């Protein structure tokens, strides 16, 4: 079997983040902290989507983000999965909107130092 990292990097990272999401969800047993963590994970996902959506193929990054989310939802025994999905989507949308309107900027942009 020929193992080539450059051909299967997205699937391997998806599996890695699925495990990381599961472990984080199991370790954080407080529902408030779980909801906060999933909101900030959505916020980071929105930032990644904004940065990558025009420059690179976006599907591998969506696959990696969904890997984390699925792992987190599988391990989230103390939270409502629907509420977690809604908070993830809300955090992602807020982050994308703030980046789109240039309220939050990326490090390499000219507006980073205001």
- Confidence grade of residue 7 (pLDDT, cut at 50, 70, 90): confident
- Residue 61 domain flag: yes
- Residue 3 domain flag: no
Mean pLDDT, range 56-60, rounded to an integer:
87
pLDDT > 90 fraction of the chain, expressed in percent and rounded:
64
- Residue 65 domain flag: yes
Mean pLDDT, range 62-73, rounded to an integer:
94
Mean pLDDT, range 99-113, rounded to an integer:
72
**What is the token pair recorded at 49?**
């989507």
- Residue 18 domain flag: yes
Q: Please state the domain count of the chain.
A: 1
* pLDDT at residue 109 greater than cutoff 70: no
* pLDDT at residue 4 greater than cutoff 90: no
Mean pLDDT, range 27-31, rounded to an integer:
91
- Residue 105 domain flag: no
**Residue 14 lies in domain:** 9-100
- What value does the mean pLDDT of the chain take? 88
* pLDDT at residue 47 greater than cutoff 60: yes
- Residue 112 domain flag: no
* pLDDT at residue 112 greater than cutoff 90: no
């Amino acid at each position: 079997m020929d193992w080539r990292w450059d051909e299967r990097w997205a699937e391997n990272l998806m599996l890695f983040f699925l495990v990381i999401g599961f472990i984080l969800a199991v370790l954080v047993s407080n529902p408030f902290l779980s909801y906060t963590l999933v909101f900030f994970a959505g916020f980071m996902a929105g930032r990644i989507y904004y940065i990558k959506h025009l420059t690179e193929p976006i599907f591998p990054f969506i696959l990696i983000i969904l890997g984390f989310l699925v792992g987190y939802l599988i391990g989230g025994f103390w939270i409502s999965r629907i509420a977690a999905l809604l908070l993830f989507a809300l955090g992602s949308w807020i982050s994308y909107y703030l980046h789109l309107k240039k309220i939050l900027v990326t490090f390499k942009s000219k507006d980073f130092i205001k």
